[in-house]
Amino acid sequence: AQKVTQVQTEISVVEKEDVTLDCVYETRDTTYYLFWYKQPPSGELVFLIRRNSFDEQNEISGRYSWNFQKSTSSFNFTITASQVVDSAVYFCALSEGNYGQNFVFGPGTRLSVLP
Amino acid sequence: DAGVIQSPRHEVTEMGQEVTLRCKPISGHNSLFWYRQTMMRGLELLIYFNNNVPIDDSGMPEDRFSAKMPNASFSTLKIQPSEPRDSAVYFCASSFLRLAGGFFRNEQFFGPGTRLTVL
């Protein structure tokens, strides 16, 4: 069965600090997909990134970067120079199978960025 | 472009009443998903449809829950009768499932959610 673990329940940082959110997953499939979503205080879920299991290249998008390591079954998310607007709950998710539609979400990490 | 639209945004009802939640997916998307979010259980997938056909409803908690997708632009999630433990935020999401470079593009885009309170 697929499983996603986010051991950090809550993180607080001061603005401009870098912060890394950890995600560890379990799956028996060789083809799977990993995602990160952001849920700001307003409540909606915002898609951030999708990765397939054969693409281990790190990705950078502005202040956001993702590190995918199959050897440790991890898909970590780093925010550089954090801002107050980054305060949100961040969810890591995994889907497996041919179509990869059955998402399993981790419990989320609540990030508070203090001014 | 309009995102996923859900209505109502908030619903307060009494135990035993029927509740209907509505969702309009992003135009052109071929898959639709219903999720429930609670503090205790987090985000749970309830059911999803491909091309209006239910594919997996194993997450639907009980027979009191039912979902329909009569056409590509509308879906409902119904709870009858409702119970206090059904109180949660219900999200609808849609995706445009397609092959790209040998892998599926399957990212889901979520609506704003419906906050349901059953008294």
Q: Nearest residue on chain B to A55, judged by CA atoms?
A: B103
A35-57 per-position pLDDT tens digit: 999 999 999 999 999 999 988 88
Q: Are strands A19-21 and B88-95 parallel, antiparallel or unpaired?
A: unpaired
Out of B56, B93, B104, name the one closest to residue A102 (CB).
Answer: B56
C-alpha triplet A81, A83, A84: angle, nearest 5° = 155
B31-70 per-position pLDDT tens digit: 999 999 999 999 999 999 999 999 999 999 889 999 999 9
CB contact under 8 Å between B110 and A50, yes or no, is no
Q: Find residues 50-69 of chain B whose CB sits inside 8 Å of chain A.
A: 50, 55-56
How far is the C-alpha of B52 from the C-alpha of B49, rounded, in Å?
5
Distance from CA of A78 to the nearest CA of B (A): 20
Task: Name residue, tokens 């399993």.
Answer: A104
Token pair for residue B59?
């997450």
A85-114 per-position pLDDT tens digit: 999 999 999 998 768 788 999 999 999 999
Q: Are strands B10-13 and B114-118 parallel, antiparallel or unpaired?
A: parallel
Task: Name residue, tokens 């997450």.
Answer: B59
Out of A37, A44, A52, name the one closest to residue B103 (CB).
Answer: A52
- Give me the pLDDT at residue A99, please: 81
